[in-house]
């Protein structure tokens, strides 16, 4: 079987940190190209990397550029993705062979970021929110590849929960069926991206980065397949009102049905519509929750290094 790493370019700083067993945190690039407008997308991406450095870890923003899988981008590459925006392909697992074979650019989703991080030896990944089972999936079968990747790829994903545009109950059921632990950081309630509330419970409450690292180490020691999902609530001062955000989501979903939006276009469409309906408040919340997740991921990566450094 061919070594996938022949398609992979690891930033020298990232490669050195991985080789030395130092803490590294992966970051996705779809949030740069499809998640936010320019220039906030580039400012946020660079600030997220700074948050990770300030908390003792090395950031590795991941993307596909010119058909090469990239683990660790330069500021210039981040600027390029931000300016190019939605003209860059949103690359999930099914897109990888075509994008690489054609030498194209791709912004990585949670799925492809996990895949490339794993290839590069990076074990912890910070993102905004994961994809999941979409509302109405019982007829559309619209289920994010993120969930299948969590079931199969041994990476810890730190997020602000599943995006509240989804069917959160079915998303949790899917993860449970596939044996993915869903942990709440200092909470037993599943956070729902813009809001700390959802009405659904996670599997376990975990109260410190040290404990998160220990759970991840034990999972790896036991040889269990798949990753771990850490749900980290948006900070209280940036959280949006539960009723306000859900009203906006219901309106956005109704409009998406009228407009015939389907498939991979659904999430960017809904997030943009929710931003408009909330007067831009959701964008500010989105930025803050990403910083919060990066901080926790870096702290957990540092604790994980302490636990595994002598091995």
Instruction: Give the residue carrying structure tokens 């020691």.
Output: 221
Separation CA 311–CA 302 (nearest Å): 15
Q: Is 43 assigned a catalytic role? A: no
**All residues at 6 or more sequence positions from 59 whose CB lies less than 8 Å from its CB, including other chains:** 24, 25, 27, 48, 49, 52, 53, 72, 294
List the catalytic residue out of 70, 163, 264, 275: 163
Q: Is 28 assigned a catalytic role? A: yes
Separation CA 308–CA 311 (nearest Å): 5
Separation CA 149–CA 216 (nearest Å): 16
**All residues at 6 or more sequence positions from 90 whose CB lies less than 8 Å from its CB, including other chains:** 30, 33, 34, 106, 107, 109, 264, 268
Cα R_g (the chain), whole angstroms: 18
Residue 34 is classified by DSSP as I
182 and 203 in contact (C-beta within 8 Å)? yes
Helix (H) / strand (E) containing 174: helix 168-177
Q: Which residues are catalytic?
A: 28, 163
């Amino acid at each position: 079987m061919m070594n996938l790493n022949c398609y992979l370019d690891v930033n020298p700083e990232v490669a050195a940190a991985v080789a030395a067993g130092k803490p590294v945190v992966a970051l996705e690039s779809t949030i740069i190209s499809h998640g936010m407008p320019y220039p906030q997308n580039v400012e946020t991406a660079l600030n997220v990397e700074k948050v990770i450095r300030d908390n003792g870890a090395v950031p590795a923003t991941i993307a596909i550029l010119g058909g090469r899988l990239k683990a660790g981008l330069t500021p210039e590459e981040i600027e390029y993705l931000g300016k190019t925006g939605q003209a860059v392909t949103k690359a999930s697992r099914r897109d990888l062979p075509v994008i690489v074979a054609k030498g194209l650019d791709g912004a990585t989703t949670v799925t492809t970021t996990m895949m490339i991080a794993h290839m590069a030896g990076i074990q912890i990944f910070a993102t905004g929110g994961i994809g999941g089972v979409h509302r109405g999936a019982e007829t559309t079968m619209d289920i994010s590849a993120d969930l299948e990747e969590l079931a199969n790829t041994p990476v810890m994903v730190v997020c602000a929960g599943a995006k509240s545009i989804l069917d959160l109950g079915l998303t949790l059921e899917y993860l449970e069926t596939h044996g993915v632990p869903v942990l709440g950081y200092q909470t037993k309630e599943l956070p729902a991206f813009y809001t700390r509330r959802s009405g659904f419970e996670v599997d376990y409450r975990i109260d410190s980065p040290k404990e998160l690292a220990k759970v991840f180490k034990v999972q790896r020691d036991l040889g269990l397949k798949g990753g771990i999902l850490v749900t980290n609530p948006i900070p209280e001062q940036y959280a949006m009102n539960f009723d306000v955000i859900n009203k906006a989501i219901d309106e956005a979903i109704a409009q998406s049905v009228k407009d015939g939006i389907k498939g991979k276009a659904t999430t960017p469409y809904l997030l943009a519509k929710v931003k408009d309906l909330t007067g831009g408040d959701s964008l500010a919340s989105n930025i803050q929750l990403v910083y919060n997740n990066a901080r926790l991921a870096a702290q957990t990566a540092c604790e994980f290094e302490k636990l595994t450094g002598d091995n």
